[in-house]
Structure 1
Amino acid sequence: MKQRTSILAVLLCMAATAVNAEPVEVQAGPTHVRLEFYTPQTVRVTKAPVGHQYESHSLVVIAKPEEVKVTRSGNTVSSSVLTVKIDPKTGALTFLAKGKVLLREKGAPQFEARTTGPDAGKYRVTQTFSLDRHEAIYGLGTFQNGKMNRRGEHKLMEQSNLEDFQNVLQSIKGWGIYWDNYSRTQFDDDAVKGMSFSSEVGDCEDYYMMYGGSADGVIAQIRHLSGDVPMFPLWTYGFWQCKERYKSAAEVLGVVDKYRKLQVPIDGIIQDWQYWGSNYLWNAMDFLNEEYANGDQMINQIHQKHAHFMISIWASFGPKTQAYHQLNEKNLLFDFETWPQSGLPFWPPRMEYPSGVRVYDAFSPEARDIYWQNLKRLFDKGTDAWWMDSTDPDFFNPQDYHYDHKAGPNGTWRSLRNAFPLETVRGVYQSQRKESDQKRVFIMTRSAFAGQQHYGSGLWSGDVTSSWDMLRKQVPAGLSYSLTGCPNFNTDIGGFFCGSYNTKGPNSAPTNPQYQELYVRWMQYALFCPVFRSHGADAPREIWQFGKKGEMVYDIIEKLIRFRYRLIPYLYSTAWQVTRNNDSYLRPLFSDFAYDKKVWNMTDEFMFGHSILAAPILEAQYTQEQIIREDAMTGWDKKTIKAENGDSVVDWSDHKIATKYLPKGTTWYDFWTGKSYRGGQMITIQTSLSHIPMFVRAGSILPLGPEMQYVSEKKWDNLEIRLYPGADGDFTLYEDEGDNYNYEQGIYSVIAFHWNDRTHTLSIGDRQGQFPGMLTVRKFTVVLPDGTSRTVDYSGQEIMIKLI
């Protein structure tokens, strides 16, 4: 967008004027200010020094400005929702809605000129804002510090293995900001100095102020700007097994076979790195390791066993790969040092034998095309899903932070650095969509930027340590990520590095009671994540590693996996609400209960969809909690820290107690017992290792499916409909073919359920829509909290059921 100096003298004292979708541009002291409403709720703010010509092309925002009626009077610009007041001396803005101040800029922006290198002529850009004294703010990304409220935070936001940043912030007051800058950005909040964003490189200040009125409203606005959330395949919501790493096709098939033999449900198996062979062939995107000589046959056999296959791919290539040569010929590889550093398969790395692995320039459309051309080999072999590792990407040397390589057509590495994961994921999504609409894109990625929800991807939280402290941190990390508009979050169940629990020799952690308790509690948390996936290093995590049928830990794990499958009708219907209505899976309690200040900073409970209150146990109750201090790099050093009392005998049948808070404003039911509680109080409940504290709000209608070995094994021809009286309620059951993108053409069905609490009547509405293979006749078994039930026949026409 070229700035037009001819309009810089627009007067602020004009009479009230109505304009339609035209940006408002003014000169305020030394600053040129431009306001452009994208919707009545969202205004884009760009600022630059007067006379500075700039272009500002967003990698994130794909929406176009709507025809928004804007009224201008003096120094005030208003839509039907948002009002912006401009300080004529400094250009500082004040944002209001419904006559109340939402947010104020604290003075003019700061532009610190960059005078050397490829970024010369640009600026370090800083803007400070004033917040209310007790105003809570949320989002920004997956901070691994156990906090959710960003007040008092000081963080250099740069993508890494464990933390990822989206530059989307929202307030308990219902406003949000997307700071549209891709360089490393310092975020600070100080009670005296204010809240600020300071980005290393910018051609101008560029951000979007959004008013949603609530957390959900802000999420709707950022998704309007950056894109909606496409549906994942139905099978992605089943159980996934992985480890670092399976070393042969035979081992992969053996794992699937054993799950089937034990009759423990599974839907996905993941192949981690080095199926390509040596580090010099790093990420060759082909089965070049001799142990995978028949990789395509392996995938076919996995499919025959009714499972799906995900494979690890990276953002870098070894010097002996085809992709490396194709990219290098066109100068589309970065020069900084990345993982793996050595070409030899030893740890620690032998630096005298450098790997030569280099990261590709994901900002280049041509490089993204070459990437897909090589990845297509695996796609053509039948690969179902992509595990995009090191999308941060990894780099090690301090000077790499200042690497000035030209990146794509739009800037330097320094100026675009944080958007790398967005661009590499976008490239795979768009290429696969062009290739075929018969298989939905499913990507797990280690890093994410704003807008990444639009490209068939979900984030996992990186190589987290196996500790109670880290488990507790995953809850606010996932909630914070969801508040940026990106809903798909998951973690390595049990943590990635579990070596500290190998007290009886290699791979012994799963028989160590300390690790068993941690693993079970982590799995109980993960039960409420969109992806339910066991993975890690230092010891295998398959269910039989923890014991055998009839032993308590084994039986608890099996029970949890089976229960996950019962939740899938609720979860898949929630997925539809995420896609269609800008909903979220993981919801901080203030999303639904903002009027209850006790939940504003709560990090150990959350809503799973709109009905279920998940309150997992996040502290050791049966064993001693081990303090483990490792990070994403030291974990690879295979330290010899050992867990204390790891050999102790534990009576898992003992009962414990836990205290949980139930938000006020509704009645809550214990999912397991049906007992009801008044909201707004702490309650003490009896627990056991097998027990997951889980409550359902009054007015909820909760569909449960049959137990299955895989998601398509059984039809949903007699769903259990759990009904929780005490308030009116609605639920929409969503169904489609389970894969492909036909749903985008309206090929799906929905059935609306409504509970009238006054008349004690459940209505099951007319089925809307259809799809191939749809059930035309079915049963629903309605179950009340006291266990009473009633089964009804349903053939697609509305029926009314009088209950109680």
Structure 2
Amino acid sequence: MQIKALLLLFLISCSTTQAQKSYAKTEFGLKAEVDSLVIELQFYSSKNVRVLKSKKGFDFDKNSLSVIAKPQNTNFKISESEVSTVVLSSDDLRVSLDLVSGAISFQDLQENLLLKEKIEGSHLDPKMDVNEPSFRVKQEFQLDKDEFIYGLGQFQEGKMSQRNQQLFMRQDNKETVVPIIQSTKGYGVFWDNYAPTTFFDDLTVTSFDSEVGELIDYYFMYGENADGVVKQIRMLTGNAPMIPYWTFGYWQSKERYESQEETEGVVQKYRNLGVPIDGIIQDWQYWGDNYHWNGMTFGNPTFPNPEKLTKAIHDLNAHIIISVWASFGPETAPFKILKDRNMLLDFTTYPQRAVNYWPAKPDDPLAGVKVYDAYNPEARDIYWEHLNEGIFSKGIDGWWLDSTEPDHLDIKDKDFDTQTHLGSFRKVRNAFPLMTVGGVYEHQRATTSDKRVFILTRSAFAGQQRYAANSWSGDVVSNWKTLEKQISAGLNFVSTGIPYWNSDIGGFFAWEYPGGIKNPSFQELYVRWLQYGAFTPMMRSHGTTTPREIYKLGKRGDWNFDAVEKFINLRYRLLPYIYSESWQVTSNASTLMRPLFMDFSQDKKALDLNDEYMFGKSILVAPVTEAMYTKGNNDSSATFDNTGSRKLYLPASTDWFDFWTGEKFTGGQEIEKQVPVDIMPLYVKAGSIIPFGPKVQYANEKLGPIEIRIYPGADAHYTYYDDERDNYNYEDGSYTTIEFTWDDSKNKLTVGKREGNFEGLPEAIEFNILKVTDKNSSGIYPKTATTKLLYKGKSKVLKID
């Protein structure tokens, strides 16, 4: 008996020794073999590690489409434990590899468990992808039962936390795939695979399961908090550049303006009314019929002189962007060139039929439209060559890249066998928006630095923030439930590190509301959606079947007109705050539209709220997402003189000021706010400094005076930022910052020395400083400013009573 026990111990010892020797240190981490798996760990920073798991004997050469960073020489050490585990330790992270099972776990330096793979949770099941040997790729993790996770892109599920669900992740009109999650434990995971993928989570397992791939490939990113995770995401996949100042103003759009006179006329009517506007969008069919789909020329006779159109818009101190697609009709010049070079993808896309109405009839002739191979750099060159010559040269200010997922009709499995420049369409399906949007951005940057790139896109993938892309939520239906779902959809999207997002104000399809814009039930929905839209990164009104222009709602003095004008003006007053926050997005990896877990991770009541968020780090937004004045979808008897109310939660650990009244509340409680139709609940965190701009008709009309509002109750700090607003000189240091610091106990505000300079910076700025109380705050236009300062760049300390 004793001999058998000794023999068993000897065998275990040999097995352990063998396991411990089955790895080797590499330049950036280590490489090990466990059974049939080759496992490699690579540090990209002390907080960021790449995990690769491949089949022994299977060669691969994967260059990530999303990750532009390279592994870095990181200070790390390797140690072994007595249980056949090798530990890779950096200055911030411990990564443990079980040399028997191949499972990996991640800990902080205090050995607190952050995330672990499930034992036997790595799956590489051989399969043929067309004629190429490949694998179905799956990795299973085990999360804490009370852990919250966010991200994955944009899905219309109405959920904030992404626990306890299954999502099939393939790019679609209203669903945007970004396979990144981040946790309330301060880490993130990027699943670097571009094939259709199923995400699954319950109390026992969390997994990514991709239809095809060469290997398991993911990045573990330790940020310690949500902003830190976003910083790690952008370190890997690219920084978000500054977008033009004017893009943060108000945008008007419609499916579609049918002539250049109509497009110009919309801007002129806003100017005549004195309602601010900065952007107008020209939708499709300016090219003519569907055989000339997306021809990148103004082939429609109602647009005879595009240069005259853009000049007229610019003379009105506004800007214009235009709809461009990822597909071409058979009579266009790009189609013929791309077809000749085998650079078109063979599946059915929109528009399927040649007619210019929707929906088409089954017997209408086929249009022959095809999507181009955006994975091919030569195809992207051809795309830009025609875009530049046919449209950009006419003075267009930016791009509405529609159907960038792209539209894929009558989906068949064989469609995914279609060969792209990078292999089967199946293999790279979800990365299409990254490639086509990136092609436009990179080519415009190479063409000129005098005009910042701005791209509005219907789809996105990991890393797209580096391409000045502002995503929108697709062709959503106009109703209250959809409005509510936009909030969590957008918040989860920005949790993946892509900061700019919006939705069609009012919803795209208004077919549930007879009479459209004249229907009071639709008007109530539209007003509430616009209030929400004023606190998203892009404030853009758009839809089909009914117009959305403010003068179609009514006239000044009508409840609906006045409510819309009020929030457009509020948006413009907030432009200095928004632009300064956008500088934090670029310079410090911040996020403008912020889920509550980003700033209140210790407040469990705030972690799964799907109807509130922070706009910047100071303003709490609680959109109204239910009808309070109309009943049903066609209530002509509605009156708007009564007052509804909305319950909301104020996160703990701080006090809050009602933006509209100045009333102060203690955090950590639910309150009920009365919400007449021209009020959306807004609360400002105590210890905030917010710059407000003057009343203007367009973003760049005038610089000041700037109103500085102090919300007391805690010390505060704010960085005010400005630059030339529509070029890339800021990348070379042409910008200025001013640091504002509030000492709450002494009622003192320090206005710091102005740092930096840029062309056009005025010698002096007038600051009107207001310490907010319930006596002097009246929302958009407060009653008094307690202190005036003509600031000429020198530091100043002010006593604020």
TM-score, normalization by structure 2: 0.94
Give, in whole Å, the separation in 1 of the partners of 2:524 and 2:589: 36
For the 8 Å contact 1:20–1:68, the answer to whether it is kept is: no
Q: Does 1:25 align with 2:31?
A: yes
Query: Quick one: distance in 1 between partners of 2:17 and 2:359?
Result: 63
For residue 535 of structure 1, the aligned residue among 512, 523, 542 is: 542
Which of 110, 113, 116 matches 2:126?
A: 113
CA contact (8 A) 1:13 1:73 kept: no
Q: Is the 8 A contact 2:767 2:791 kept in 1?
A: yes
> How far did residue 651 of structure 1 move?
2.2
Q: Compute the displacement of 1:687 (Å).
A: 1.9
Amino acid at match of 2:788: T
* Corresponding position of 1:766: 753
> In the TM superposition, what is the alpha-carbon distance from 1:107 to its structure 2 partner?
2.3
Deviation at residue 791 of structure 1 after TM alignment: 0.8
Q: SS at 2:128's partner residue?
A: coil
> Where do residues 171-570 of structure 1 align in structure 2 (5 Å cutoff)?
171-192=183-204, 194-352=205-363, 353-376=365-388, 377-399=390-412, 402-408=415-421, 410-502=422-514, 508-570=515-577
Aligned residue among 712, 720, 730 for 1:725: 712
Structure 1 counterpart of 2:76? 70
Distance in 2 (alpha carbons) for counterparts of 1:10 and 1:321: 67
SS at match of 2:432: helix
Q: Distance in 1 between matches of 2:357 and 2:799?
A: 69
What SS does the aligned partner of 1:779 have? strand
Q: CA deviation at 1:684?
A: 1.8
Shift of residue 368, structure 1, vs aligned partner: 0.2
Could you list the runs of 5+ residues in structure 1 that have no partner in the other structure? 1-8, 503-507, 627-642
Q: Which residue pairs with 2:12 in the alignment? A: none
* Deviation (angstroms), 1:568: 0.2
Find 1:609's aligned residue among 599, 609, 616: 616
Give the structure 1 partner of residue 690 of structure 2.
702
| Pair 1:800 & 2:785 matched | no
Deviation of the 1:14 alpha carbon: 6.1
Distance change (3 Å), C-alpha of 1:793 and 1:416: same
1:668 is aligned to 2:656: yes
Deviations 1:112-133 (A, max 9, x none): 1113623x31100011000111
Query: What is the DSSP-based 3-state SS (H/G/I as helix, E as strand, rest coil) of the residue aligned with 2:344?
Result: coil
Is the aligned partner of 1:583 residue 2:570? no
Q: d(CA) in 2 for partners of 1:11 and 1:565?
A: 67
Aligned partner letter, 2:394: K
The more displaced of 392-401 and 173-182 is 392-401
Q: Would you say the 8 A contact 2:151–2:495 is kept in 1?
A: yes
Structure 2 residue 681 is matched with structure 1 residue 693: yes
* Greater Cα shift, 87-96 or 267-276: 87-96
Q: CA RMSD in A?
A: 1.6
**Counterpart of 2:40 in 1: which secondary structure?**
strand
Query: Contact 2:347/2:415 (CA < 8 Å) preserved in 1?
Result: no
Q: Structure 2: how far apart are the matches of 1:154 and 1:14?
A: 39
Identify the residue that residue 44 of structure 2 maps to in structure 1.
38
- The answer to whether the Cα contact below 8 Å between 1:313 and 1:389 also exists between their aligned partners in 2 is yes
Question: Does the Cα contact within 8 Å between 1:21 and 1:69 map onto a contact in 2?
Answer: no
Aligned pairs for 1:585-664 within 5 A: 585-624=592-631, 626=632, 643=633, 646-664=634-652
Aligned residue identity for 1:671:
F
* Cα 1:11–1:210 shift into 2, 3 Å: farther
Distance change >3 Å, CA 401–CA 471, structure 1 → 2: farther
Distance (Å, rounded) in 2 between the aligned partners of 1:47 and 1:501: 53
- In structure 2, distance between residues paired with 1:375 and 1:277: 16
1:60 aligns with 2:66: yes
Q: Partner of 1:558: helix, strand, or coil? A: helix
- SS of residue paired to 2:719: strand
Partner SS, residue 61 of structure 1: coil
What amino acid maps onto 1:186 in structure 2?
T
Percentage of identical aligned residues: 47
Q: Return the alpha-carbon distance in structure 2 between the equivalents of residues 687 and 541 of structure 1.
A: 23
Amino acid at match of 1:57: N
Question: Matched residues in 1 for 2:506 and 2:522: separation?
Answer: 8
How far did residue 12 of structure 1 move?
A: 5.6
Task: Give the counterpart letter for 1:660 in structure 2.
Answer: L
- Structure 2 residue aligned with 1:633: none
Judged with a 3 Å threshold, the aligned counterparts in structure 2 of structure 1 residues 298 and 241 are, in CA distance, closer, same or farther, namely same
Counterpart residue type for residue 667 of structure 1: D
| Unaligned residue ranges in structure 2 (runs of 5+) | 1-15, 81-85, 777-783
Displacement of 1:648 in angstroms is 2.5
2-structure distance, mates of 1:592, 1:10: 47
User: Which amino acid letter does the alignment assign opposite residue 123 of structure 2?
Assistant: Q
Distance in 2 (alpha carbons) for counterparts of 1:345 and 1:268? 26
* Deviation string, structure 1 residues 358-396 (Cα, Å, up to 9, x no partner): 000000000000000010021100000100000010111
State the match for 1:90 in structure 2: 101
Quote how far apart the aligned CAs of 1:532 are: 0.4
User: 8 Å contact 1:28–1:91 — kept in the other structure?
Assistant: yes
CA gap of 1:528–1:10, structure 2 versus 1, over 3 A, is: farther
Please report the TM-score for the alignment, with normalisation by the length of structure 1. Answer: 0.94
The superposition leaves residues 590-645 of structure 1 with CA deviations (integer Å, 9 ceiling, x where unpaired) of: 11111100011001110000000111111111112x5xxxxxxxxxxxxxxxx3xx
SS of 1:115's equivalent in the other structure is: strand
Deviation at 1:649, TM superposition (A): 2.2
State the distance in 1 between where 2:357 and 2:585 align: 44
Q: How many residues align?
A: 767
Deviation at 1:400, TM superposition (A): 5.2
Structure 2 match to 1:156 = 168
